[in-house]
Structure 1
Amino acid sequence: MTDPHGFLRTPRRPVPARPAEERLSDWNEIYAGQSLLPLVSEQAGRCMDCGIPFCHSGCPLGNLIPEWNAYAARGDWWAAAERLHATNNFPEFTGRLCPAPCEEACVLTINADPVTIKNVEQAIADQIWERGYATPQPPQRLSGMTVAVIGSGPAGLAAAQQLTRIGHTVAVYERADRIGGLLRYGIPAFKMEKRHLDRRIEQMRAEGTRFRT
């Protein structure tokens, strides 16, 4: 089989991890974020922008994967952030925690390693915050309607953010002492540091979402 574009010659690489002696000193994430950028540029460029992108159907959120892959390959992080946020309120969570069924659906798996879509998503999400693209988006006007969201897990937070941004007054109720649900108490820090959750909650507060623990 010929391979004029080099897709088969670019295998999946292991994601760089922090040295063991450094990891022993804290509970932080195993993988260092900035070390993903060279891998991301290479892997995003492997995306073939298929006529029928099966990664869309493989992703439970319906993420626009070929679109933000194209922007990430060129280093256009603003456009990549816009396309990623179009279908995903919290890509910094899913980029770290999702089991990546999109990669199993990647067309390249027919005869090669898939694009490391999860790593690309995480890198874009991190760039969104590092470059200041995740600014609060308070509504321009209020609808006069009040909504209560029960539970502050990822689904509750996403619903609350969408409802707040279109002008409803939203209160999130959580039975635990802190906001976050599964993200707070079910995910260990080495998988996702809680600072990612805390800064997103602060963004939601700035947009007008209220929290009741």
Structure 2
Amino acid sequence: MLNSPPGVATRAAIRTVLFDLDGTLVDSAPDLAGATNEMLIARGLPEVPFERLRPMVGAGARGMMGVAFGVSPKEMTFPALRDEFFDRYERRLLRATRPFDGVAAMLQALSDDGLSWGIVTNKSERFALPLARGLGWSERAAAVVGGDTTPHSKPHPEPLLEAARRAGVAPGECVYVGDDARDVLAGRAAGMPTIAVRWGYLGDGEPIEAWGADVVLDTPSQLVEWLRAAR
């Protein structure tokens, strides 16, 4: 369902669609959860059911280590657990990670319609760049900006502004698409229309309708429909 779209003039000005990665373009939960459960198995501890880990993917290592070990970033044991988690995840980066259903067709439709697209994620370049390469997106994307590409990560607007610079467009000619409230905050701070996607991880915070996005989408094909409606 499309909710509260911005004006047609705003949509008509869009030249580039910028996407969050995990939970928006790709379902990386199986590999992130797998790395977490590998850590538990190595310690002789019971695995955490996938259904408990999946909603926390958007929170990264903080969320995964919190569910698996009850540890927060403020605790002394967190850095070592985080580093082990990163190492294990890196080794299985593309073992089970796949684009969500409909994403490949959506990206092709954007290209067919003459729109460029890019990726802005809080995932560090250590993971984001090889993931984009492995999926065949590096050469197609106008920009791939990771969480450490600029001095700031989302919800700061700088990663989105950097992506717009790399794509050669003004921020107001971009729309930002994500599955977390931070994505909406970052997009609005960058002066971009924002779209929230219901197929993502969503976390356990406010409902998606409360994030303040201009549009809420149920499927990737709706993004193409929404853009085409203004042309």
TM-score relative to the length of structure 1: 0.27
